[in-house]
A = this chain, B = another copy of it.
């Protein structure tokens, strides 16, 4: 076995062992566990080299090796796209795609729960969001005397609602007529189209149009749909976070609004799974973690994000293959809604 080759094997062994055991591994253990045909002293030379090159560190002078961020990055590039989810799990995922998708949100949660169970870490899924939302349908329902509920359906099956109050009492009949008229006039338009369309409008029509534009503009401004987290218990149950005050910082960020944007804004991964390891994350509180995420959806139409958040020490192979699998599942499902 060539020297260069063995060093790579050693690094791989260190990483994979740390992923399962979460503890430093000794040179002798590397030899034994993985049946290498050299002595522990040789491995020590290799780990010394790996340490000089920044792939491993040791908690103290006489301790085993643990991988660095650089090692994980190397490992992720190495395993790359080669991996596929085992049959059993592919079958599980297939099953769930068959399930009745009554409510999109409800279904997304089921999907998130399954993925979380599979990868034993925190999962985030955002609802799919249209790139540029277009108006499809509008509906008005009378509430109390002066009030009505405005329901707006956008392409990609997004539904928004808002309460309007009018200056006068408006009957349900009137409201239905208003709704039908505006639906046929605005059908297929973007918010700027609607804004541009200056027709003579009644006072109520104007008011409704304004709300409509506002709703659509707000929607356009968002980078992502509503994020949904599942499996916090799995993340916090990881040995690196029990008895650690860092979990508070992590929770703080995760409960905030902007962390998803901040992380994924730089560039969208072209097709594959984006991997952010430790220090690569701009958010300091999350630098003990790795985030893996994949976009799903229909290109140029609507897209969402499905991701996994866990300790840097995570089963990248499994998570990447799971994410690939789930993102196609979700894409197929979104395609139906459009």
Contact A159 B163 (CB under 8 A): no
A91 contacts chain B at the CB level, 8 A cutoff: no
- How far is B157's CA from A160's CA once the two chains are assembled, in angstroms? 12
A144 contacts chain B at the CB level, 8 A cutoff: yes
Which B residues lie within 8 Å of A153 (CB)?
Answer: 139, 141, 149, 151
Contact bitstring A114-140, B, C-beta under 8 A = 1, else 0: 000000000000000000000011010
Contact A233 B248 (CB under 8 A): yes
Contact of A337 among B163, B247, B338 (CB under 8 A): B163
Contact A248 B237 (CB under 8 A): yes
A167 contacts chain B at the CB level, 8 A cutoff: no
Contact of A242 among B176, B231, B245, B337 (CB under 8 A): B245
Contact B338 A143 (CB under 8 A): yes
- How far is B141's CA from A136's CA once the two chains are assembled, in angstroms? 8
A300 contacts chain B at the CB level, 8 A cutoff: no
Which B residues lie within 8 Å of A237 (CB)?
Answer: 248
- How far is B151's CA from A247's CA once the two chains are assembled, in angstroms? 41
Which B residues lie within 8 Å of A248 (CB)?
Answer: 233, 236-237, 242
Contact bitstring A2-44, B, C-beta under 8 A = 1, else 0: 0000000000000000000000000000000000000000000
A251 contacts chain B at the CB level, 8 A cutoff: yes
Which B residues lie within 8 Å of A247 (CB)?
Answer: 236
Contact B236 A163 (CB under 8 A): no
- How far is B232's CA from A157's CA once the two chains are assembled, in angstroms? 32
A215 contacts chain B at the CB level, 8 A cutoff: yes
Contact bitstring A232-255, B, C-beta under 8 A = 1, else 0: 110011000011010110011001
Contact of A232 among B160, B242, B251 (CB under 8 A): B251
A77 contacts chain B at the CB level, 8 A cutoff: no
Contact bitstring A67-106, B, C-beta under 8 A = 1, else 0: 0000000000000000000000000000000000111100
- How far is B159's CA from A161's CA once the two chains are assembled, in angstroms? 9
Which B residues lie within 8 Å of A252 (CB)?
Answer: 233
Interface residues, chain A, with chain B CB atoms under 8 Å away: 101-104, 136-137, 139, 141, 143-144, 147, 149, 151, 153, 157, 159-163, 176, 180, 215, 230-233, 236-237, 242-243, 245, 247-248, 251-252, 255, 336-338
**What are the 5 tightest A-B residue pairs by CB atom distance, in nearest-first order?**
A233-B251, A243-B243, A137-B141, A233-B252, A102-B162
